[in-house]
Structure 1
Amino acid sequence: MNKTLFPSAPVRTAPDRPAPAAGAGLDADLVDSYRRNGFVQLRGVLCADEVERFAAAAREVYDRGRALNPTDDTFKQVVNVWGDDPVLRELTFHPRLAQAATELAGVPLRLWHDQLLMKKPHNHAATEYHQDAPYWPHARSRHSLSAWVALVDVPVERGCMTFLPAQQDRHDIRAVDLTDRTDLFEAAPELAYAPRVTLPLRAGDVTFHNGYTPHTANANDTDEVRLAHVVIYVDRDVAYDGRPHVCTDPLGLRVDEPLPDAEFPPLPR
């Protein structure tokens, strides 16, 4: 297919929703919105003190130079921070995140992995439209979802996310090139004109999105770093399907073997 840019579909911004009080469950309409649209936004999940503490820890991790892709301009990715950083381990297993994820998914969950995602100022590179789940070596997963925690303010200009709502039942789309603006729409041309929802975030806000919800994050055009911590949850009963992945490659798992609890802890923890 010719690599021309598809005309942009309308972009609209969804109303945000306040996070429930600590220990309180999610409103039924919020859960219903997530299950219909494949994503939801919660405001103020982290308080200001938590944001400051976790953001400082994230910057220290990047200063140590640990990243899977240190030369990639799209974003710098550090995976499984929970294993060696005690402060960010608290964020990965934050009870408000785990409780919300479990209620939204409706099935028992385990941690798949966490990751820090940093877009440097003026990086000139978007994370193009894709689904997450096609990259994961999971068999018979009933549900997967990610909590995307903003550790700084993320307006549109700093690289917030845009979602294609109500597309999370599309399990037929191949893994695409995250640097190719048109690749998802070549794999699924009918999505080129689907409605799009853009969600700017304040520091401490969180979006949850289904592993099959198509989404993008635009480039960081500001003078400040875009810093996010992502916690990815998967069905507790998922099995390994044999495909390579940085989180399972060292473990010597057999096809159809359950994910081991030590490396992928069940929730709650």
Structure 2
Amino acid sequence: MSVKVDAQFYNENGYLLVKGVFSPEEVAEMREAVERVIQKAAATKYDRSHAWQGDFLPPEELKKLVLKGFHDVHYHEAVFTRALSHPNMTAVLTELIGPNVQLHHSKMLVKPPERGAAFPMHQDYPYFPHARHSMLAASMHLDDSDLENGCLSVIPGSHKQGPLPHVGAHYLNHKEYPLSLGTPCPAQAGDVLFFNYLTIHGSDVNRSERPRRNVLFQYRDPADLPINDEHVNWGQGLMVAGENPVFKEYRADYKLA
């Protein structure tokens, strides 16, 4: 199975939807893994919802919404380790980033049926700013995604504006950048949406009876150094393609919970 990569489109627009990166069998295996992660988390103190708590919706409506999000899912299920370095993924990544590609982190986002929360328009840059802006997200679809179940929307070319001021450091002013301003990116299960971390993006509420399950991988050029130490985790830095030109001793800096 081969994939088509239009690097020129990505450079111009800041995003690229690549069809059929994963087979139906691979998607089914990852869906099962997502369910196991949710079930395991539910039995611990780490279960949480990532619904936005701003003025985008009235408080009584916000309470009804759910967005299940867990970071570093490749620590929990090996299927995601295989996915993040899948030959089809590296074929795209080396075209968009370059010969050397490093994982920054992984994340699972699940919008349950009928009450899956929206994510207002934002850039990912404020979460983990880097010097050369090579960072991109690869949003892997485990379900068919459309406007009804809250597919991602992007503003083409917005990555060329550079970093923008965010409300509370995480979201753009939703009155200036409403979700309606974005271009919807409907996708099928197995497709991957790649977008630069400066590309403005967001997603609406899941109003359907279908779930919207995505696993997101963040990648960078290992020579593109972070501006600060935000969003650093103890397993960061896995090489997915090529080599790391910066040699140093990596030490874990974490506390056991």
TM-score (norm 1): 0.74
Q: Please say if 1:100 is aligned against 2:92.
A: yes
Equivalent in the alignment of 1:70: 49
AA of the residue aligned to 1:169 = K
Match of 1:148 among 135, 139, 143: 139
CA distance in structure 2 between the aligned counterparts of 1:57 and 1:213, rounded to whole angstroms: 29
AA of the residue aligned to 1:200 = P
Equivalent in the alignment of 1:47: 23
Q: CA contact under 8 A between 2:18 and 2:193: conserved in structure 1?
A: yes
Q: CA contact under 8 A between 1:40 and 1:209: conserved in structure 2?
A: yes
Specify the SS of the correspondent of 1:229.
Answer: strand
Q: How does 1:105-116 map to 2 (within 5 A)?
A: 105-106=97-98, 108-116=100-108
CA distance in structure 2 between the aligned counterparts of 1:47 and 1:195, rounded to whole angstroms: 32
Equivalent in the alignment of 2:173: 184
Q: Deviations over 1:170-211 (max 9, x none)?
A: 22312346997xx4356xx4x669963211111111111111
Q: Deviations over 1:89-143 (max 9, x none)?
A: 211222211220220223622101011101111226311100112211x442341
Equivalent in the alignment of 1:31: 7
Equivalent in the alignment of 1:12: none
Specify the SS of the correspondent of 1:36.
Answer: helix
Structure-2 change in CA distance of 1:124 and 1:263 (3 Å):
closer
AA of the residue aligned to 2:207 = D
Alignment RMSD (CA, Å): 2.7
CA distance in structure 1 between the aligned counterparts of 2:7 and 2:16, rounded to whole angstroms: 8
How far did residue 243 of structure 1 move?
Answer: 4.3
Match of 2:113 among 89, 103, 121: 121
Match of 1:263 among 228, 236, 240: 236
AA of the residue aligned to 1:64 = K
Once the two structures are aligned, what percentage of the paired residues are identical? 23
Q: How does 1:157-236 map to 2 (within 5 A)?
A: 157-176=148-167, 183-184=172-173, 189=176, 196-236=182-222
AA of the residue aligned to 1:166 = G
Q: Which moved more, 1:31-40 or 1:57-66?
A: 57-66
Q: Which moved more, 1:46-55 or 1:167-176?
A: 167-176
Q: Is there any run of 5+ residues in structure 2 with no aligned partner, and where?
A: 52-64, 243-257
CA distance in structure 1 between the aligned counterparts of 2:180 and 2:107, rounded to whole angstroms: 29
Q: CA contact under 8 A between 1:69 and 1:77: conserved in structure 2?
A: yes
Q: CA contact under 8 A between 2:153 and 2:179: conserved in structure 1?
A: no
Specify the SS of the correspondent of 1:212.
Answer: coil
Structure-2 change in CA distance of 1:168 and 1:125 (3 Å):
same
Structure-2 change in CA distance of 1:93 and 1:161 (3 Å):
same
Q: Is there any run of 5+ residues in structure 1 with no aligned partner, and where?
A: 1-20, 252-261
Q: CA contact under 8 A between 2:134 and 2:224: conserved in structure 1?
A: no
How far did residue 153 of structure 1 move?
Answer: 1.2
Q: Deviations over 1:30-60 (max 9, x none)?
A: 2111110111111111111111111111111
Q: Which moved more, 1:213-222 or 1:193-202?
A: 193-202
